Chain A
Amino acid sequence: MADNPQIPGRNRPLSPHLTIWRWQVTMLASIMHRATGMALSAGAVVLAWWLVSISNGPEGYDSFMAYAAMPLGLVVLFGFTWSFAFHFCNGMRHLAWDLGYGFDKHTAGKTGFLVFALAFLIAIAAFAFVWSGHAGYLQ
């Protein structure tokens, strides 16, 4: 770990890293932004799979739904939904920072909590919406 990545074999002191700091919501949000982004990369593959299954006709779509409706499939779909909601909300937080808003310590902490709460709220609301029979309004 202490190896300098640019010059192999040369040991130099590293600045304090993850294991040193007390956990803050801001750092957790930052880590989760990257983690959800990576999870959504798998989601992109599932999006392609979903579109291909629809293009393959009723049997093709049934085979996709057989996986999606499995308990594991539902857990994964909930994970994607939460990740999507989180990455969307926290992404707006990042764009606000880029414009120069909300970057002071207390605001960043508050919006960090807000983003986690919103992501759970949105994901649970989406699943409740489907399970209570309100979805499918486009038919």
Chain B
Amino acid sequence: MPDICNEELSAMKSAETPLHKVQGMGASHSGTGHFRRERMTAVALIPLSLWFAYSILGLAGTNEVIMVQYLAHPWNALLMAAFAATSVYHMSLGLQVVIDDYVHAAGTKIALMLLVRFVTIAIISTCLFALIRIASV
């Protein structure tokens, strides 16, 4: 058994441990997946947030024409899409923890989790659609 584990560790294709793959769940039914995703998105958001701050300050006080020009540029469109998708996904992971901590009734919990996921998808797709529209003007 340890041999199989070592072999798999050395040829590891993801950060998921073999033990986690076998068990598939812990007390949270998801192991460390949530924890890792929260940290991964946080690290990705460091450069993306700096770019976002640079862009917002650079666009503040200008007009719609300038903003369309800036956001229609492929690099800027891509970075804004990445910032919106990553930050809103990070948001859904964070809100899930808040629900886990404070909501204990199973029905309410499931309803709120669904709401968070639907809102997450709604915000991300709205941002992406707006960016596509801006780029295709």
**A interface residues, Cβ below 8 angstroms from B:** 5-6, 34, 37-38, 40-41, 44-45, 47-48, 51-52, 54-55, 57-58, 60-62, 84, 88, 91-92, 94-95, 98, 126, 129-130, 133, 135-139
Given A44-B123, A51-B131, A95-B42, CB of A126 within 8 Å of CB of B64: no
**B interface residues, Cβ below 8 angstroms from A:** 39, 42-43, 45-46, 49, 53, 55, 57-68, 70-71, 80, 84, 87-88, 91, 94-95, 98, 104, 123, 126-127, 129-131, 133-134, 137
Q: Contacting B134 at CB < 8 Å: which of A6, A54, A92?
A: A54
Q: Assess whether A138 is in contact with B98, with CB atoms less than 8 Å apart.
A: no
Tell me the minimal C-beta distance from B137 to chain A in angstroms: 8
Listed residue (A6, A40, A48, A92) with the most chain B CB atoms within 10 angstroms of its CB: A48
Q: Assess whether B134 is in contact with A136, with CB atoms less than 8 Å apart.
A: no
Chain A residues with CB below 8 A from B53, complex form:
84, 126
